[in-house]
Amino acid sequence: MLDRTQRMQAFAAAMLMWVGLAVAPAMAYEVIDVQHGGSIEGTITLTGAIPEPKGFNLITFPDPTYCGRISNGRGWRLLRDFIVSPEGGLKNAIVTLEGVESGKAFDLSVPLIEARDCMFQPWVTIVRNGHAVEVVNMDPVMHDIQGYETSPEAGARVLFNTPLILNHQHQRGNMRAVHNHAPGKSLVGPVYLNKGRRTFYMQCGFHAYMESWAMAVNNPYYAVTDDQGAFKIENIPPGTYQMVVWHPQSGPGVTRTITIAPDGTTTERVALPAPKGNRTAYKVMDNPRFGLESLGHPVEIEPLVEHQQ
């Protein structure tokens, strides 16, 4: 029998993280040759004032040497969870059709989430119910992956908490150098969502500004809005379905009943409300308490990768 150290070594030796997102049992989806399929397209917008990015100062949330260079240069990391075009289009909103029991085939590729420049990319992911998502570390620093399943009714439940190992090929001792972002090893282990849960949330325990959201779906009729808030879903069997629009930070979302006509295109425009009030305990400000000099040793911040304004 392997002792604890051997088990941990075997665990760390795995190259991929597979997160099986199994939710409530649903009627099996059937792949068919769709005849006279229709389409739905449109735009998701945000109403109300665009929320300020969440701020995380580099004293309370450290690692100024590497992650701090991707900051505003004044001691703050920013999490831009609302990306809105000049016309109000909302990026990273998820659009799904519920009630489609048969239709086109799923894309069988495994979604990939990268820890890159102390951000999880992409910020939102869609994965087939019961299948997998791969997570790799592209940074020359270690991350600590904390996974949760969540729902508005039941709240969050911890799924796992384990290190995301850095790539040992990265140059050591010079975190300000540009590196090659080669993927490192990561954790492994199946994670199943409880009945009735559809969303999965991941955060770094070392860097709280790193987060990523995923939604499990039962059919391949979904889309994520682009930087203009636009989306399109094609080859839909004619019929009446529920269209669900959701953004991780804008509340419970919007549901509409839509009808897809044979060989037709349905256009929908949906507005999601912007959240109000404070969304974080920290407000970005010029404050000597958060200045880099409070670390007690010289630190030079050069935002070589991204200087967030």
Assess whether 134 and 155 both reside in one domain.
yes
Nearest to 93 by CA among 303, 271, 261: 271
- Do the domain assignments include residue 240? yes
**Range(s) of the domain holding residue 199:** 106-219
Q: Would 304 be classed as within a structural domain? A: no
Are 166 and 133 within one domain? Answer: yes
Is 160 found in the same domain as 135?
yes
What integer is the mean pLDDT of 44-49?
Answer: 96
Give residue 229's identity as a one-letter amino acid code: G
- From the CB of residue 285, how many other CB atoms can be counted at a distance below 10 Å? 12
231 and 194 inside one domain: no
Q: How confident is the model at residue 58 (pLDDT cuts 50, 70, 90)?
A: confident
Taking the C-alpha atoms of residue 212 and residue 135, their distance in angstroms, rounded to an integer, is: 11
Can you point out the beta strands (E) in 122-253? 124-128, 134-137, 143-151, 155-164, 199-204, 211-217, 222-224, 230-236, 239-246
What tens digit of pLDDT does each residue of 163-209 get? 888 776 666 555 555 566 667 765 544 455 666 677 888 899 888 89
Global pTM reads 0.82
**Cis amide leading into 51 (omega within 30):** no
Tell me, yes or no, whether 101 and 242 share the same domain. yes
Residue 290 has pLDDT above 70, yes or no: no
Name 64's bridge partners. Answer: none
Identify the pLDDT of residue 246.
Answer: 95
- 267 near 41, Cβ under 8 Å? yes
Last residue of a domain, one of 196, 219, 242: 219
Shared domain for 95 and 114, answered yes or no, is no
- Could you tell me the two tokens for 109? 């590729």
Question: Rounded to 5, what percent of the chain is helix, strand, coil?
Answer: 5, 35, 55
DSSP 3-state assignment of 166?
coil
Round to whole Å and give the CA distance between 303 and 163.
25
In the chain, the number of structural domains is 2
Instruction: Kindly report the CATH number assigned to the domain that includes residue 268.
Output: 2.60.40.1120
- Asked if residue 59 belongs to a domain, the reply is no
Task: Report pLDDT digits (tens) over 19-44.
Answer: 444 444 456 899 999 999 999 999 99
DSSP letter assigned to residue 130: T
Nearest to 69 by CA among 227, 213, 212, 207: 207
- What average pLDDT does the chain have? 79
| DSSP states along 41-100 | EEEEEEESPPPPPEEEETTTS--TTTGGGSS-SSSEEEE----B-TT-BBTT-EEEEES-
CATH code for position 185 = 2.60.40.420
